Amino acid sequence: MTARRSRSRRAAYAALALALAGSLALTGCNSHSSKSRKSKKSFSSSARSKSSLKSKKRGFAGGGAAGAGAGAAASRRAHDCRPSTYRVTFAQQTGPKSHVTVTFKNTGGRACTLHDAPLLRFDNAKAPLPLLQGTPGDPDGTRVTVPAHGHAYAVVPTRTAAAKGTTRRSVTVAFMGASAHSVTAEPVTVNFAEKRLHLSVGNSKVTNWNSSLHAAQLAGGVAK
């Protein structure tokens, strides 16, 4: 009887020891898993922090580039256009809608601004042709921005005998400035004989500059 009890106790102790060993192993495993998760969370948080810092740096750099771009755009603002014999050309249309077309071509690499109308003195006249629209230096006058290699147009109607007048030998061209009676540069003279042009202009007026030929013709009442 005593031997049986002794064997039973030993078996119970062995079972208890086995259960305790299993419990400790499970606890160790859970602890290792928890530490691993905490480590992963810490690494993820650190990665996000670094990524956020890089993003902020990129954003700051981008803002600087945008500011530099705005400054460059401001430095490229359109300046006043200047006349030359290679930029201003003349042509006369005959018929019921007879008129002289003045064409300006911006041969430069930057946009420029034309104010109001061209100042045209045919055959060294004392005064330029009057304006059909407004007065020189009018605050509400026309401003036309001509892009690089772009064009602008003005028209001199010559529909009547008085407006057509006689054949002219030359014309002196000046460009108006932003204020009354100011010009942007020294006038330029175009010799019609040298260019084999035959233009007849008399008691007429000139339209303001326009960005399209049709608009200039409409302003001069000679559109077809």
- Asked if 44 and 100 sit in the same domain, the reply is no
- Is the pLDDT reported for residue 75 higher than 80? no
The overall average pLDDT reported for the chain is: 75
> Residue 223: which of 183, 90, 31, 210 has the closest Cα?
210
In eight-state DSSP terms, residue 129 is: P
Span of 33-47, 53-67, 72-86, 162-176 with lowest mean pLDDT: 53-67
- Is the pLDDT reported for residue 66 higher than 60? no
What is the separation of C-alpha 80 from the centre of its chain, rounded to a whole number of angstroms?
A: 17
Confidence of residue 83 (pLDDT cuts 50, 70, 90): confident
- Asked if 110 and 138 sit in the same domain, the reply is yes
- Is the pLDDT reported for residue 65 higher than 60? no
- Asked if 129 and 183 sit in the same domain, the reply is yes
- Asked if 206 and 95 sit in the same domain, the reply is yes
- Is the pLDDT reported for residue 107 higher than 70? yes
- Asked if 195 and 98 sit in the same domain, the reply is yes
Final residue in a domain of this structure, among 53, 76, 99:
76
Confidence of residue 86 (pLDDT cuts 50, 70, 90): confident
- Asked if 63 and 172 sit in the same domain, the reply is no
Region 156-183 average pLDDT = 90
Final residue in a domain of this structure, among 29, 58, 76:
76
Report if residue 95 sits inside a domain: yes
- Number of domains forming the structure of the chain: 2
- Asked if 14 and 58 sit in the same domain, the reply is yes
- Asked if 127 and 209 sit in the same domain, the reply is yes
- Asked if 96 and 64 sit in the same domain, the reply is no
- Asked if 44 and 129 sit in the same domain, the reply is no
In this prediction, residue 181 carries a pLDDT of 66
Report if residue 224 sits inside a domain: no
In this prediction, residue 55 carries a pLDDT of 42
Report if residue 173 sits inside a domain: yes
What is the separation of C-alpha 57 from the centre of its chain, rounded to a whole number of angstroms?
A: 28
- Asked if 22 and 133 sit in the same domain, the reply is no
Question: pTM higher than 0.75 for the full model?
Answer: no
Residue predicted with more confidence, 49 or 89 = 89
Confidence of residue 146 (pLDDT cuts 50, 70, 90): very high
CA distance 175 to 171: 13
* Range(s) of the domain holding residue 41: 1-76
Q: What is the CATH number of the domain that holds 181?
A: 2.60.40
- Is the pLDDT reported for residue 144 higher than 70? yes
Top-confidence range, 38-42, 51-55, 132-136, 197-201? 197-201
Final residue in a domain of this structure, among 61, 76, 91:
76
Backbone dihedral angles phi then psi of residue 105, each to the nearest 5 degrees:
-115, 125
Report if residue 31 sits inside a domain: yes
Region 27-37 average pLDDT = 45
- Asked if 198 and 95 sit in the same domain, the reply is yes
In this prediction, residue 142 carries a pLDDT of 85
Structure tokens that stand for 62 in this block? 């981008």
